[in-house]
Amino acid sequence: MTTPPVPPDGRASRWVGHRERRREEITGTAIEVLDREGPDAPVESIARACGVTRQVLYRQFENRHDLDVAIADRVVSMLLEHVIARMTADHGIEAGLRGTLDAYLDFVLEHRPLYDFVRALPSAPGSGSPVDRITDVVVTVVASIAGELLGPDASGRLPLRDVYATGLVGLADAVVSRWLADPGARSREDLVDALVDVLQLCIEPVLGGAAAGGVVSDGVTGTA
């Protein structure tokens, strides 16, 4: 005779839901604390802002790394939501590049402690770092936009995601990171102008070669 299934324990389900809500609340408060006090804010400051003790806080998280990962995941989502909305070529490539860079810099400069926190968090075993997640999403969006600009025939021949989009995003990230380390070297406006120029120099030959029916092999545009 088949044993009837055991009905779910309503109390256990409610506890899981309560724990997830508390994790979300604590994560949100932790982000506010880090943004205000800096990326090295101690867990005691987070617990105090939440109105709980350190011991109570750790009932919702396995350890400090678990809390840090939750914070980083939320910050990454905030950043991507802010930037991806501006990633479009609807008004031209230059306007799209400028809008994307401005959106990124707006977020980073407004929330510099959160940016530093995410950058400093190491990769967890078996998974990438929060920065890897940002890069992967942005690269995917850039490759998608490039594919729309090039059309299906040309985009099918070119390594858009693995080479072109990854290269563009890596270039922009390296330049912005260097500027953030020494922002007094040049103004933000000069940075954006110069970076937009460099990125356009990388993009235009690819678009031009595709429009002319060319192919790209080993980084060189030629005639098909």
pLDDT tens-place string over residues 45-74: 999 999 999 999 999 998 999 999 999 999
Which phi and psi angles does 95 have, rounded to 5°? -65, -40
User: How many angstroms separate the CA atoms of 126 and 154, rounded?
Assistant: 35
DSSP tag of 183:
G
Q: What pLDDT does residue 77 have?
A: 96
pLDDT in tens, the chain (224 residues): 555 565 555 555 565 576 789 999 999 999 999 999 999 999 999 999 999 999 999 999 989 999 999 999 999 999 999 999 999 989 999 999 999 999 999 999 999 999 999 999 987 766 778 999 999 999 999 999 998 888 887 777 788 899 999 999 999 999 999 999 999 989 999 999 999 999 999 998 888 766 555 544 444 344 43
Single-letter amino acid, residue 39: P
Single-letter amino acid, residue 121: L
Spatial CA neighbour of 79 closest among 89, 88, 71 = 71
Q: What pLDDT does residue 220 have?
A: 39
Q: What pLDDT does residue 123 have?
A: 77
Tokens of 2: 């088949």
**Per-residue pLDDT reduced to its tens digit, 139-159:** 999 999 998 888 887 777 788
User: How many angstroms separate the CA atoms of 188 and 184, rounded?
Assistant: 9
Instruction: Let me know how long the chain is.
Output: 224
CB contact burial 21-40 (16+ within 10 A = b; e otherwise): ebeeebbebbbebbbeeebe
Q: Cα-atom radius of gyration of the chain, to the nearest Å? A: 23
Q: What pLDDT does residue 224 have?
A: 37
Q: What is the pTM of this model?
A: 0.83
